[in-house]
Amino acid sequence: MPRAIDVHIHPPFDRGPAPPEAIEAFAAKYRELDIQGNLLATDARSATGRPHVSNDYVAGIVRTYPDIFTGFGSVDPWQGKLAIYEVERCIKELGLIGIKFRPYLQEFFPNDLRFYPIWEKCQELKAPVLFHTGTTGVGRGMPGGRGIHLKYGQPIPCLDDVAADFPELTVIGAHPSFPWQDEMLAVAVHKSNVYIDLSGWAPKYFSPMLIQYCNTLLKDKAMFGSDYPALSPERWLTEFEACPFKDEVRPKILRENAMKVLGLS
């Protein structure tokens, strides 16, 4: 059993699949750290026109390194029935275990009824869905934030509506959700099917409120995520050690909660 499960990492990718040696080095890093990683695909073609991190690419890495990686697929929600078909292909054919969305890049509100058939299919397949929430490093400090609209990452009403309307669907809010962190905490407390990952945010910047909730009401719902390569797992784990988390809560955040949410043995 690994010492930790990093539920939020991105594979090597630069306008096309990375060379085998880059993937091998990537896997070796996680093996050496004794961390199991959950790889995330990305598909925002309709909104951005940019290349995507394909589901087949992620599934290929998982097949090559099944002892180190699991994977979440991604679908472009604007592709309608094709998106629903791709959700089913990800789970049934590719062996991926969930579906990831980046609403601020894909430019959609998850509680828009046009996308409800996607959540219905994910619920049917018992596939967890992960949504990026809050602010993002994409476009940070650039004029106009590179056109990114942060409104798509607000937990209430978007994720709260989805969780309420699909009570058997596992919903994961990624990142500490700044500036709507309290909203995300409230949704996770109120909805038994909602969880949070702590990725993309150096633990030394975790708010007292976030730590308080993780130590108490959300001790079974918060999960370690680094957002590698944006933030290294080494840095995250080192800073996590220095934070005032309870000893009995640490293994839950680092491994046990992810095992339950992702269905890992």
Tokens of 30: 């996680």
Q: Note the pLDDT of residue 219.
A: 98
pLDDT in tens, 123-135: 999 999 999 999 8
3-state secondary structure of 192: coil
| Domain carrying residue 166 | 4-262
pLDDT in tens, 4-61: 999 999 998 755 677 888 899 999 999 999 999 999 998 888 887 776 789 999 999 9
Q: Note the pLDDT of residue 15.
A: 58
Alpha-carbon distances of 199 from 46, 125, 126, 147, rounded to whole Å = 26, 25, 23, 23
The predicted model scores a pTM of 0.95
- CATH number at 202 reads 3.20.20.140
Q: How many domains does the chain have?
A: 1
Q: Do the beta carbons of residue 46 and residue 16 sit within 8 Å?
A: no
Q: Do the beta carbons of residue 40 and residue 197 sit within 8 Å?
A: no
- Comparing 48-57, 173-182, 252-261, the range with the smallest average pLDDT is 48-57
Average of per-residue pLDDT values in the chain: 93
Q: Note the pLDDT of residue 159.
A: 97
Q: Do the beta carbons of residue 140 and residue 170 sit within 8 Å?
A: no
Exposure on the CB side of residue 219, measured as CA atoms within 13 A: 11
Q: Note the pLDDT of residue 115.
A: 98
Q: Note the pLDDT of residue 53.
A: 81
Q: Note the pLDDT of residue 147.
A: 72
* Percent of the residues in the chain that have a pLDDT greater than 70, as a whole number: 94
Sequence-distant (6+) residues with CB within 8 A of 240 are 203, 224, 250, 253, 254
Alpha-carbon distances of 223 from 19, 99, 194, rounded to whole Å = 30, 17, 12
* pLDDT confidence bin for 137, thresholds 50/70/90: low
| Greatest distance between any 2 Cα atoms in the chain | 47
The conformation of residue 174, written as its DSSP 8-state character, comes to: E
CA distance 233 to 197: 14
Q: Note the pLDDT of residue 140.
A: 59
pLDDT in tens, 69-116: 999 999 999 999 999 999 999 999 999 999 999 999 899 999 999 999
* pLDDT confidence bin for 221, thresholds 50/70/90: very high
Q: Note the pLDDT of residue 44.
A: 83
